[in-house]
Amino acid sequence: MGGISEFRHFVDHRLHGNLIVRAHTHINLLGWVEMAIFASVYYIIPRLVKRPIYSVTLVKVHFWIHNVGLIGMVLLFTIAGVLGGTASVSMSPDEVEQIVKPWLATMGMFGTLVLLANIIWAYNLFRTCIGWEKNY
């Protein structure tokens, strides 16, 4: 992101331009790191408890809800950053805030989808592990 000096200046010095960095951060952390953790745990837990995953359907629901939420978050962070940064050239901070606020509120709804997906993941793993007997 820092390779283009004009873009770097926009992100660093315009009001709400840093929201573009948040979009980049979320796509990396939620889109790559968190999904890699989900996949690893989906693979490991059934082998540890020696039983199949509780619901493959929930795995699919988790995947799609998470990715729809993530894509919405990233797009809305980016839109809010671009609109806020562009508007900050000719508008007051209060006016810019009024432009960005609805985009961030909608982004929060997509963030709630990501949270819901994480709860589904945890529930599916919990149900997979119920009755796990300790072998001493």
Is residue 135 one of the residues assigned to a domain?
no
> What is the value of pTM for the model shown?
0.84
Is residue 29 one of the residues assigned to a domain?
yes
Say which amino acid occupies 57. T
Distance CA 89, CA 73 (A): 25
Is residue 69 one of the residues assigned to a domain?
yes
Number of structural domains the chain divides into: 1
| pLDDT tens for each residue of 73-82 | 999 999 998 8
Is residue 134 one of the residues assigned to a domain?
no
Closest-CA residue to 82 (of 136, 4, 23, 125)? 23
Say which amino acid occupies 67. N
Closest-CA residue to 70 (of 96, 32, 44)? 32
Residues of the domain holding 56: 5-129
Angle at 108 between CA 20 and CA 3, to 5 degrees: 10
**pLDDT band of 1, cuts 50, 70, 90:** low
| pLDDT tens for each residue of 89-132 | 888 989 989 999 999 999 999 999 999 999 999 999 999 999 66
Is residue 136 one of the residues assigned to a domain?
no
